[in-house]
Amino acid sequence: MRQLLLPITVLLLSACASNPVPPADPQQAWVDFATPTPGAKLVMAQRLDGKSVDDGRYFQVPAGSHELMVRFDFEVPTGGSFGGFGQTTDRTCFITLQYDHFEAGQRYRLEGRSLAYTPNIRLYDAARQLLAEERSVNCI
């Protein structure tokens, strides 16, 4: 499985690299992604207000209330056997965050974090103030 994941990831990233991110619309809010946790691999937009997004590299939303679903891929340790010590496997989770106060022209940062098997996402404003956090996840 891990051998298959690498070529797919490379293919997706190369496709993204050839398509530049559009400029931010000042009439909408912009949400960037980050993964500050070691072992975190990917935070990607999945759905906006229940609808699939065209480009998973960001969210751009009108002012107001929105439900953001992201895909978060990260590494988790495998069993405790001596032979498997230090090995990891990938985990994919879909996390939904509701935030009611997006403002047009503002930039936000959505961070995917994990502590062992427990992922969460946090939404920050440009001043790095925590606005929302979600731990409710659907992992596969």
Q: What percent of the chain has pLDDT over 70?
A: 81
Lowest mean pLDDT among 79-88, 98-107, 122-131: 79-88
pLDDT, average across residues 17-33: 89
Q: What angle do CA 139, 92, 88 make, to 5 degrees?
A: 110
pLDDT in tens, 81-95: 555 567 888 899 999
Q: CA–CA separation, 109 vs 124, rounded Å? A: 5
CB contact at 8 A, 101 and 81: no
pLDDT given for residue 81 in this prediction: 58
Does pTM top 0.75 for this prediction?
Answer: yes
Handedness of CA 134, 41, 129, 102 (dihedral sign): negative
Q: Where are the domains of the chain?
A: 25-139
